[in-house]
Amino acid sequence: MRDSRLLARLLADPAAAREVQDWTSLIAVARAESLAGSLAWRLEGRELPPRVEALLEAARRDGESARVQALWEAEMARRALAPLGVPVILLKGTAYAAAGLEAARGRSIGDLDILVPRAALPDVERALLAAGWEWVKEDPYDDQYYRRWMHELPPLIHRERDRMIDVHHAILPLTARPKPDMERMIGDPVPLADGLFVLSPADMIVHAAAHLFADGDLAGGLRNLWDIDRLLRQFGERDSGFWPALRERSQRHGLLPAVRRAVRLARHLYATPINWCQAPISKSLDSQGTASEKIGARHQLTATDALYRRRLLARDGWGRARRPLTRLAFYVRSHWLRMPPLMLARHLWVKARRR
Amino acid sequence: MSERSNIPDDDGIGRPSRRVVLALGAAAASTVVTIRPALAQTAGSVLNCEIPVPAPQAGSGNFIAADGKLVPAGTPGAYPPLARPLKGEEVKAMLNSGRAPAGVNSEAAQAYANYIRRLQAGMSGFTCYASLQMPR
Amino acid sequence: MRHILRLQVGPVSFRIGSQWRGPVEQLRRLYAGYPEPEGLCDFTVRLEAERFWRRWLRPSVAIRGDYVLPDAAPLPLAQGLLAAEMGMNLQMALGQKRFLLLHAASVEKGGRALLMTGHSGAGKSTLGALLGERGWRFMGDEFALLDLDDGRLHPFPRAVSLKNESLGLFDGMDPARLGPVLTGTPKGTIRHLRPNPEAVARMTEPARPVLILFPRFGRDLEPAIREVGAAEAFMRLTQASTNYVALGERGFDALTRFVGALPSRAIDYADTGQAEALVDELWRAA
Amino acid sequence: MAASLYAADPPETLRTVELEGLTLLYHRPSGLTHFLAPPAPQILEALAAGPATAAEIAARMGEAFEIESEDPAAAIAARLSELEAAGLVWRT
């Protein structure tokens, strides 16, 4: 089995671990996709060769230390912003960890991502600068570009702790075609015990899908899709109203196609259970059986999905990125999605002249 | 502080009889030092590294002022970007003994050195710079 | 990858892949007699062209692998062996989490180990290699691996990297143990030395550390010994460790136990004869 | 303006080792190690009894120690701001 494909299979079905022939390649792929910690957790308690077990045990401990650091960074941001009385919503890995979600298990967490109301940005910026964060970039074009068009402040880094913070006011660049309803998203967060917030379950998925398809070039996509798998499973099991809410929210934010694609690909790669048509209250076995047959056809990958899958699995057993043309196409696409064509041309021109 | 005992002698009325002296020190003294990751130091010492001046993220068309700050191209008194990145050893010589890299005059070298001193994590060259910091 | 070598060094195993034959052949010669890893390799190192045409045109070797450092500069193909060595070091520095990793040389005698740490230029590598030829067992010149559970040191006997003047000290060595002379590298002239057969044969045998040394080399230095307090030793060792912070409380426990139980000394020396005499003196007292 | 109330993490979240008059402290919530010199460890000890203002901290310390300082208020304020920057205390 191809290397990144095998990684996905093992994440979905840890029992397949006994079929692994080449652990070195599997680990190289998992590290390259930032999924080594997640894999280590999925394989916990399995009978594995001792050397493999020792490596995975170290990966689990490393994931735990990443979790502590990420939560600490969130706490330091909370202390810096508490006097403002502004809701601070954690995003991505830090949010999953703070909310104790399954998706955080073993997940590597890089920067701290937070979401605040756009009107609060100047105050937030001032408070962070006063608490030891500094600008990373000094370039005026980049700075202006960020402030005018992007969904976040230019990145800040803490001068003592060397950790970056991305302060978002929206989940997509302002130039992107879908226009999520940020007021609704920010107005309906889930409070955590310590005065921080995370997005509601449906919005969390919407953000993860937007981040995966409408924003980036799909680098690290296998990990982002793994997040989506874990979140869908956990939310779907916890709350029978989750799937209808997901449909409603995705539609409202103009991101239903992205969410549906994420769900299809997650099901394809990670066998995620899907329940778009779930009856909210009663579940009769026979009707569900027929329903899922019918829905099955709608969960088939489309031709475009297949391209995405090709991009997501573009990694060989040495951890090398493969399929340069597919990757280039997705890179160009990522810019195309973020900006109207004229603006894109200007942006690429300014960037190119500096090379 | 001279000494501190965990079990203070009790004189029978709930007060320690031998009071331990605690000097609070001057307001300017420093009493908290946090251990920072030394990853870059060691990683750099086992690796060959280089520093672009300036970092592409910071705008490679910009000039470097004498104090190391980036200024628009053509600013009087500022120095143009370096065509090639500086090798770790060149940077070390420049920072420690003020020796200019080949083909760079000493005032410009001063400006480049100041630029490098201002590097922050996340910018090209930072890990290399950090690795050249000799704490001892 | 076209050319592959799998290599076991102490408790750590590597898979090294290269687009060119040269570096892997040189590695194979340098590490002749080392065991092949059984099963999984802990780390993958890749030596590949920075851009695809640079595989043929002025070939330069980019150092990549499981863990990469963005500022790493490529090396000319003639220094491919050095690139492979740096690649392995980099994986250890960034990815090793099973042990507390100390940037230090270590040698052993009678089951007890001596640890020497200091910046490049302090002479730990040369000293470690010299002692390894004079009655001590060489455990490693670059990294010492402190066991987080039992506090023992694990050997990591990679090839010694001899630099510049220290090359001359090993002139009488069996030529089969020496790698090619690499001139014009970022660290000057470098030549690698394979540890002796005893060091290789006993690479899985850990030892209990009993003494920490902070050597300092300088032509004008008077030979001297200074006691180093536990607090200073702790601070210096955290700065000599790439993974202290990442290991969290386990690192804290291991390192506080380590500096609490062992004496630490700083030594100054102007030549290796002086250094050996100082080490002998301290070792007898330890 | 009311005086700030300072708080610290409870003692069970800290590991301390004394080395040559210095306190080596591992702080579990952050995973960071700090070297503390007096009176920083004593301030943390004073806060173990619960949040307090700078003046209350000085009073708690005065119960256990003979305080020696030309300007205790300024010295404690300076120490508190160091501890705050390190994340070991915060204002509630």
Per-residue pLDDT of chain A (355 residues; tens, 9 = 90+): 678 999 999 999 999 999 999 999 999 999 999 999 999 999 999 999 999 999 999 999 999 999 999 999 999 999 999 999 999 999 999 999 999 999 999 999 989 999 999 999 999 999 999 999 988 766 666 677 777 777 888 889 888 888 899 999 999 988 788 899 999 999 999 999 888 999 999 999 999 999 888 666 788 899 999 999 999 999 999 999 999 999 999 999 999 999 999 999 999 999 999 998 754 444 444 444 444 444 455 678 888 888 889 889 989 999 998 877 777 777 777 776 666 666 666 766 666 665 4
Domain span at residue B79 reads 43-132
Domain span at residue C46 reads 3-95
Q: Strand (E) positions, C110-221? A: 112-117, 137-140, 143-147, 153-154, 160-163, 182-185, 188-193, 208-217
Between residues A59 and B7, which one has the greater pLDDT? A59
Nearest CA in chain C to D32: C245
For helices C80-95 and C21-30, what crossing angle results, to 10°? 70
- Quote the minimal CA–CA distance from D75 to chain A in Å: 21
User: What is the sign of the dihedral through the CA atoms of D46, D50, D54 and D55?
Assistant: negative
Write down which chains contact chain C via at least 3 CB pairs under 8 A. Answer: A, B, D
CB–CB of D68 and B35 under 8 A?
A: no
Domain span at residue D18 reads 6-91
Nearest CA in chain D to A158: D85
Mean pLDDT, range C178-198, rounded to an integer? 93
Q: Does residue B102 sit within a domain?
A: yes
AA letter at C234? F
List pLDDT tens digits, range B15-67.
445 578 888 877 666 788 888 877 555 544 545 667 888 877 666 678 898 88
Name the band, by pLDDT with cuts 50, 70 and 90, for residue C13. very high
- Chosen for mutation from D5, D30, D82 (greatest number of chain A CBs closer than 10 Å) is D30
Domains of chain B: total: 1
Nearest to C230 among D19, D26, D28 (CB): D19
Same domain, C220 and C268: yes
CA distance A261 to A267: 10
Q: Does residue D1 sit within a domain?
A: no
> What residues pair up with D91 in beta bridges, in sequence order?
D6
Find the chain B residues whose C-beta atoms sit closer than 8 A to any C-beta of A: 34, 36-37, 56-62, 69-70, 72, 120-123
Note the pLDDT of residue B135. Answer: 34
The answer to whether D13 contacts chain A (CB < 8 Å) is no
Domains of chain A: total: 1
CB–CB of C94 and B49 under 8 A?
A: no
Nearest to C234 among D15, D19, D28 (CB): D19
In the numeric block, which tokens belong to residue A92? 């991505």
Domains of chain D: total: 1
Same domain, C85 and C140: no
The answer to whether A160 contacts chain B (CB < 8 Å) is yes
The answer to whether C239 contacts chain D (CB < 8 Å) is no
> What residues pair up with B7 in beta bridges, in sequence order?
none
Same domain, C111 and C89: no
Alpha helices, DSSP H, located in C114-190: 124-132
- Chosen for mutation from D20, D24, D35 (greatest number of chain C CBs closer than 10 Å) is D24
- Chosen for mutation from C48, C66, C90, C247 (greatest number of chain A CBs closer than 10 Å) is C66
Nearest CA in chain A to B127: A162
The answer to whether B80 contacts chain D (CB < 8 Å) is no
List pLDDT tens digits, range C18-34.
999 999 999 999 999 99
List pLDDT tens digits, range C35-49.
999 999 999 999 999
Same domain, C128 and C228: yes
CA distance C151 to C230: 16
Nearest CA in chain A to C37: A51
CATH number at residue A148: 3.30.460.40
Name the band, by pLDDT with cuts 50, 70 and 90, for residue C186. confident
Note the pLDDT of residue D92. Answer: 87
Mean pLDDT, range C240-267, rounded to an integer? 94
- Helix H, strand E, coil C: the string for C215-257 is EEECCCCCCEEEEECHHHHHHHHHHCECCCCCCHHHHHHHHHH
- Quote the minimal CA–CA distance from A65 to chain D in Å: 7
- Other Cβ atoms within 10 Å of A202 Cβ, number: 26
Nearest to D66 among B8, B22, B32 (CB): B22
Q: Does residue B23 sit within a domain?
A: no
Note the pLDDT of residue B5. Answer: 39
CB–CB of C239 and B135 under 8 A?
A: yes
Question: Domain boundary residue among C95, C118, C150?
Answer: C95
Element housing A44 (H / E) = none
Q: Does residue C184 sit within a domain?
A: no
- Quote the minimal CA–CA distance from C147 to chain D in Å: 19
Which residue positions in chain D have pLDDT lower than 50?
Answer: none
Note the pLDDT of residue B31. Answer: 82
- Chosen for mutation from B60, B115, B120 (greatest number of chain A CBs closer than 10 Å) is B120
Q: Does residue C183 sit within a domain?
A: no
Same domain, C121 and C26: no
Name the band, by pLDDT with cuts 50, 70 and 90, for residue B134. very low
CATH number at residue C144: 3.90.228.20
CB–CB of A69 and D87 under 8 A?
A: no
Q: Does residue D43 sit within a domain?
A: yes
Write down which chains contact chain A via at least 3 CB pairs under 8 A. Answer: B, C, D
- Quote the minimal CA–CA distance from C245 to chain D in Å: 7
pTM of the full structure: 0.85
CB–CB of D29 and A76 under 8 A?
A: no
List pLDDT tens digits, range B81-131.
888 888 777 787 787 677 888 888 888 888 888 888 777 655 666 666 665
Note the pLDDT of residue B1. Answer: 37
The answer to whether C256 contacts chain D (CB < 8 Å) is yes
Note the pLDDT of residue A349. Answer: 67
The overall average pLDDT reported for chain C is 93
Note the pLDDT of residue B28. Answer: 65
User: What's the ipTM?
Assistant: 0.84
Note the pLDDT of residue B29. Answer: 67
Domains of chain C: total: 2
Name the band, by pLDDT with cuts 50, 70 and 90, for residue C176. very high
- Residue B54: asked if its preceding bond is cis (omega within 30°), the reply is yes
- Quote the minimal CA–CA distance from A57 to chain C in Å: 8
Residues A157, A159, A163: CA angle, nearest 5 degrees: 45
In the numeric block, which tokens belong to residue A25? 């390649």
The answer to whether D33 contacts chain C (CB < 8 Å) is yes
Question: Domain boundary residue among C69, C95, C121?
Answer: C95
Note the pLDDT of residue A159. Answer: 83
Note the pLDDT of residue A219. Answer: 80
The answer to whether D28 contacts chain C (CB < 8 Å) is yes
Nearest to C89 among B35, B47, B125 (CB): B47
Q: Does residue B82 sit within a domain?
A: yes
Nearest CA in chain A to B123: A136
Domain span at residue A179 reads 2-354
The answer to whether B30 contacts chain D (CB < 8 Å) is yes
Nearest to A49 among C40, C41, C65 (CB): C40
Name the band, by pLDDT with cuts 50, 70 and 90, for residue C119. confident
Same domain, C207 and C74: no
Q: Chain centroid to CA B39: how far?
A: 14
Half-sphere exposure of B91 (CA within 13 A, CB side): 31
CB–CB of A160 and B123 under 8 A?
A: no
